[in-house]
Amino acid sequence: MQRRIKRRDAGNDTSLPTDLHPVLKRVYASRGIESAEQLSYSLEKLHPFTTLKDIDKAARILAEAIEYQKYILIVSDYDADGATACALGIRGLTAMGAAHVEYLVPDRFKHGYGLSPVVVDLAMDLNPDIIITVDNGISSIEGVARARAHGVDVVITDHHLPGNELPDASAIVNPNQPGDTFPSKAIAGVGVMFYLLAALRAELRERNWFESQGIKEPNLATYLDLVALGTVADVVPLDYNNRILVSYGIGLIRTGKSVPGIQALIKVAGKKHAGLVASDLGFSIGPRLNAAGRLSDMSLGIECLIGNDMNTCHGMAAELDELNKERKDIQEEMHQQALQFLSSVGKLEKQSAEHGICLFNPEWHQGVIGILASKIKDKLQRPVIIFARDEDGSIKGSARSIAGVHIRDILDRLATTEPGLIMTFGGHAMAAGLTIAETELERFSILFNELIKEHIIAYGLDSDIYTDGCLPAEVINLETAELIRNSGPWGQGFPEPVFDGTFVVIDKKIVGENHLKLRVKDRDYNRQFDAIAFNTTHRAWPGDVTDLNLIYKIDVNEYMGRKTAQLIIEYIEPISKSSSD
């Protein structure tokens, strides 16, 4: 299946520094960077917390809780964003003098998502005075009501899109709630918690709390390693504000100043902290942390992040690494089952696939369906929902979408036009979760497909591959690879540069069981390069074709202390003999 290759508009690079490498000038300009100021990631350029609605109210509630030594309970989500936000809250509140801070993280398989009534009942056994939600709560209408009925204040910190009704919380800090003017709507849950701590510190400073108690005012910037990890792992768009947060946090990690838990996770992942980049957080560190919430209990991940003893944290990181290996095995089995089913019904190719894909297997693991949805979405370039059976007889779905299709809005429209079809749902543009009755799966699948089809007819579907153009052979080298690697942070909404070019295959072999290692040469200048296509075997290779169009990233490969440039192949398109003559 061939996909159309398009080159990004280079935009206007005339205002960028003249000494900037020409490749970077082109890349930055195509991402909307128009001046050197937009490449400055100083913390002074962060948006102020004052524009976040309700943040002053939330800060006052927490300041009083600290002054009167009230019991604060953080209710976390069970993913990496929630875990880092929870760890940040515990570390920050404790540093500001909170006498009693604990956390509660729901069990994905028993309690579901968010501050539900059953989670509040569990919380009441701990007798908290205040509940703070992190990375959840904006849709917890019933849960907040139950907590308030018990006389417990609830402060919601979240970043997910709200529904038509907001919870009756004591304060809600969420940039996506109605009436909020905070410019960065893309901030992750851990970022919202960081801003709340900044507002709380200012409130306590006004009350002369630190001086009167002999407490050193905490430097919140030292916690940005947690913010960087949660932000990248949650795949939120890296707008300018988020890039500042992530850049500073990665700087802490690179200089060995991150919390012991992150250092331990880096070690078990086989990475080196000195050269770590955002993609390492997203593809190596984040998945190991997420494995706890997917297969077991995210408490293990949170304990790893709040621990201060390196040996203890390393032991927990090793447990997380083992869980991640188990997750990979489960994921691969589910992936093969999904592909076999799609093949059997003739829908494995994008041209023959439905507009919106729904898949269900009663044996599939609920904790891995999000990853599977992402993989099938990438293959078919269609919105995908993967369902797994829940203990109560319902089925839970994890949705992943494509550019131009706002998946939460689609679910909201379905919930509005078909009352009762969806029991619960929430999320944002590219990812969402929902629960339906198993008996409604067929009807839901038909309606979902029809709604996606209507959307595509009305707005189109852009499944093209965008690149940053062709790289001259003379700049495909280690210097360029290191320059690009260190010029991020790259990520969602600010993508790592990818290039296109025509090459001739000199040699190919399988390494690491399922990775295709290539030696290629540039067709015009005859220069040779190492290249690798991950998770690609000879079975996926386009026959005996040796002339190829490649979409690739240029990265640094380090082996036995030696660094070389390497092409990371994203897409392979064979060139027929007639077109190559």
pLDDT at 331: 95
- Average pLDDT over the chain, rounded to whole? 92
- Write the pLDDT tens digit of every residue in 84-135: 999 999 999 999 999 999 999 998 888 878 899 999 999 999 999 999 999 9
Listed by start position, the domains of the chain span 5-33+466-580, 50-321, 345-459
Question: DSSP character for 471?
Answer: P
Whether residue 383 contacts residue 402, with contact meaning beta carbons closer than 8 Å, is answered with yes
Query: Shortest CA distance to 223 belongs to which of 211, 215, 214, 231?
Result: 231
Cα 549 from Cα 572, distance rounded (Å): 6
Q: Residue 149: CA atoms inside 13 Å, Cβ hemisphere, count?
A: 10
Beta bridge partners of 395: 389, 436
Q: Give tens-digit pLDDT for 332-358.
A: 999 999 999 999 888 776 656 789 999
User: How many percent of the chain have pLDDT more than 90?
Assistant: 76
Task: Indicate if the pLDDT at residue 478 is higher than 50.
Answer: yes
CATH 3.30.420.610, applies to 5-33+466-580: no
As assigned by CATH, the class of the 345-459 domain is alpha beta
E strands in 160-290: 171-173
Q: How confident is the model at residue 65 (pLDDT cuts 50, 70, 90)?
A: very high
The sign of the dihedral angle between the CA atoms of 428, 429, 432, 437 is positive
Query: How big is the chain by its Cα radius of gyration, in Å?
Result: 24
Taking the CA of residue 265 as centre, how many other CA atoms within 13 Å lie in the half-sphere pointing to its CB? Answer: 35
The answer, yes or no, to whether residue 469 has pLDDT greater than 60, is yes
Task: Give the architecture-level CATH label for domain 50-321.
Answer: Alpha-Beta Complex (3.90)
Cα distances (Å, whole numbers) of residue 78 to 134, 293, 304:
10, 5, 14
Burial degree of 230 (CB within 10 A; 0-12, 13-18, 19+): buried
Q: Are 376 and 338 in contact (CB under 8 A)?
A: yes
pTM: 0.92
Contact 37, 15 (CB under 8 A): no
- pLDDT at res. 50: 97
pLDDT in tens, 149-168: 999 999 999 999 998 899 99
Q: Residue 118 has what pLDDT? A: 94
Determine the pLDDT at residue 72.
Answer: 98
How does 386-417 read in b/e, with b if 16+ C-beta sit within 10 Å?
Answer: bbbbeeeebbbbbbbbbeebbbbbbbbebbee
Using the predicted structure, report yes or no on whether residue 579 has a pLDDT greater than 50: no
Mean pLDDT of 535-546: 66
Over the stretch 411-458, which tens digit does the pLDDT of each residue have? 999 999 999 999 999 888 889 999 999 999 999 999 999 999 998 877
Cβ neighbours around 228 below 10 Å, total: 31
